């Protein structure tokens, strides 16, 4: 029997988001350093998607390695329901120091989906504890992706990812995001006034303004991925829409949940995407880059009024939620070290520089026939492919261009994972200008080769 990693994998492992019958063999990764991954068969690949959007400081970072080792020698894990520990407390203190002003409490879990699940359960019980249990509906956006647990899937847009589980999901009210390339009301960003929000003049279309106008009394919370909707199509928002979400939640007295699992910790060129519009959500969900991409950790932070709604002599008002690995000390210790790196170096400035390199590098893609749109925010450069530029028709997630492009990039030493017709570069922030130019060159060549 072959002892090669891919052969052993083929006999024993089931991979996520993977059709195991038709998949190409997985890449046998044996080592990571900086922006590069190294395979068992000697290839060096640039990690163009930050290992599912988590890595920011580069692989195998000496400072994070040291923090992890030191914590492992002290305390690897302990129950967090009736114990506490230094890494969890220090991390909460540090997070509250960098989060949008007004968030005052951190609740830990262990991944992005659970950070969202916690947020939704908190919002639900918040209203129950305040005697308004009729406020049960969540308002979410088309093209949203909030994770793979049942609540997070329910809030996610109807898609290939959620359809097989439709019978398990609960209904949410769905509104249009500001998808400017495919504007829901046919306007142009250069001249529009964010009419898709429906803030001032409720449109017949399902805008947030219109839906809240008619249903606000039954709504618990509005949940959004601020500034960048990720897995649903890498849709970049105008900051005005985000400001409008906050304004509408305030007007109707609703909770605003910001899912910053992808956008948090600098990915959009600000520490948090909410900073682009200077808004504080009532609840914020964090994960992925919180540990620099090292270890699973989820955190859901809330404002004082949300926290206070759970304080009571009546023990039924307790938030009955927790996971075995809540506030894992190893994860917290690495997350603290990651925040130290943010405090010591101008990492946000670096992401902004990366944004500039991507903007100028990706501009040339507009001349390719199969490119419909190019958009960039922070450390994310996105190319939306279409089969017809005039009608903007496109194949979606199952577009065969995706796997062909992935292979063409791999052949050139670049690891990408297009979302069907949405191709994007989201490298660790430590990528250099010349490495960025090189990666963009490979994307361009790969696109030309599959066109």
Ligand X SMILES: Cc1ncc(COP(=O)(O)O)c(C=O)c1O
The residue ranges that bind ligand X (CB under 6 A) are 111-113, 116, 145-148, 225, 230-231, 259, 261-262, 287
> 91 vs 419, which CB is nearer to ligand X?
419
- Shortest reach from residue 285's CB to ligand X, in Å: 7
Strand ranges inside 190-329, DSSP E: 219-224, 228-229, 235-236, 255-259, 283-286, 298-303
- Shortest reach from residue 3's CB to ligand X, in Å: 31
The residues facing 219 across adjacent strands are: 137
17 tagged catalytic: yes
Catalytic site residue from 36, 241, 288, 399: 288
> 51 vs 442, which CB is nearer to ligand X?
51
- HSE toward the beta carbon, residue 379, CA cutoff 13 A: 32
Catalytic site residue from 7, 17, 158, 278: 17
Closest residue by beta carbon to ligand X = 112
Residue 277 CB neighbours (<10 A): 21
Per the listing, tokens 């040339």 go with 364
- Shortest reach from residue 44's CB to ligand X, in Å: 26
Rounded to a whole number, what is the distance in angstroms from the first to the last CA of the chain? 40
429 tagged catalytic: no
> 212 vs 297, which CB is nearer to ligand X?
297
145 tagged catalytic: yes
> 113 vs 207, which CB is nearer to ligand X?
113
294 tagged catalytic: no
Q: Are strands 283-286 and 255-259 parallel, antiparallel or unpaired?
A: parallel
Burial of 200 (0-12, 13-18, 19+ CB in 10 A): exposed
Q: Which residues contact 175 (CB under 8 A, 6 or more apart)?
A: 139, 140, 141, 142, 206, 207, 208, 210, 211
C-alpha separations of 210 from 176, 199, 205, 214, 267 in Å = 11, 8, 8, 7, 31
- Shortest reach from residue 409's CB to ligand X, in Å: 20
- Shortest reach from residue 137's CB to ligand X, in Å: 20
Query: Torsions phi, psi of 411, nearest 5?
Result: -60, -25
> 116 vs 239, which CB is nearer to ligand X?
116
Catalytic site residue from 47, 259, 282, 399: 259
Catalytic site residue from 36, 126, 145, 241: 145
Question: Which residues are marked as active site?
Answer: 17, 145, 259, 288
């Amino acid at each position: 029997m072959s002892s090669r990693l891919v052969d052993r994998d083929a006999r024993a492992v089931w991979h996520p988001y993977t059709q195991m019958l038709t998949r190409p063999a997985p890449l046998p990764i044996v080592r990571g350093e900086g922006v590069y991954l190294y395979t068992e068969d000697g290839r060096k690949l640039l990690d163009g998607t930050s290992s599912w959007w988590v890595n920011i400081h580069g692989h195998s970072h000496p400072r994070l390695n040291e923090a992890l080792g030191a914590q492992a020698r002290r305390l690897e894990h302990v129950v967090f329901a009736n114990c506490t520990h230094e890494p969890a407390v220090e991390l909460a203190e540090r997070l509250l120091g960098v989060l949008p002003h007004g968030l005052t409490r951190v609740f830990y879990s262990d991944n992005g989906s659970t950070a969202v699940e916690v947020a939704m359960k908190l919002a639900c019980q918040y209203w129950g504890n305040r005697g308004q249990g009729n406020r049960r509906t969540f308002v979410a956006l088309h093209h949203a992706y909030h994770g793979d647990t049942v609540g997070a899937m329910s809030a996610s847009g109807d898609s290939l990812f959620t359809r097989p589980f439709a019978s398990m999901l609960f209904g949410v009210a769905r509104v249009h995001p500001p998808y400017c390339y495919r504007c829901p009301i046919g306007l142009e960003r250069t001249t529009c006034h964010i009419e898709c929000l429906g803030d001032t003049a409720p449109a017949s279309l399902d805008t947030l303004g219109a839906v809240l106008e008619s249903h606000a009394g039954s709504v618990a919370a509005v949940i959004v991925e601020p500034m960048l909707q990720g897995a649903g199509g890498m849709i970049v928002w105008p900051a005005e829409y985000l400001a409008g979400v906050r304004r509408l939640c305030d007007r109707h007295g609703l909770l605003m949940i910001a899912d910053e699992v992808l956008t948090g910790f600098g990915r959009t060129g600000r520490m948090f995407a909410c900073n682009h519009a200077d808004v504080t959500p009532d609840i914020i969900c964090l994960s992925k880059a919180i540990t620099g991409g090292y270890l699973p950790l989820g955190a859901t932070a809330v404002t004082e009024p949300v926290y206070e709604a759970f304080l009571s002599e009546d023990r039924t008002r307790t938030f009955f939620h927790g996971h075995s690995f809540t506030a894992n000390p190893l994860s917290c210790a690495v997350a603290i070290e990651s925040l130290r790196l943010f405090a010591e170096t101008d990492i946000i400035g670096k992401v902004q520089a990366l944004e500039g390199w991507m903007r100028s590098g990706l501009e040339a893609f507009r001349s390719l026939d199969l490119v419909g749109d190019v958009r960039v925010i922070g450390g994310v450069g996105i190319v939306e492919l279409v089969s017809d530029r005039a009608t903007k028709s496109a194949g979606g997630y199952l577009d065969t261009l995706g796997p062909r492009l992935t292979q063409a990039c791999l052949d050139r030493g670049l690891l990408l994972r297009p979302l069907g017709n949405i191709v994007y570069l989201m490298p660790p922030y430590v990528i250099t200008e010349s490495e960025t130019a090189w990666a963009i060159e490979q994307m361009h060549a790969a696109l030309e080769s599959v066109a």
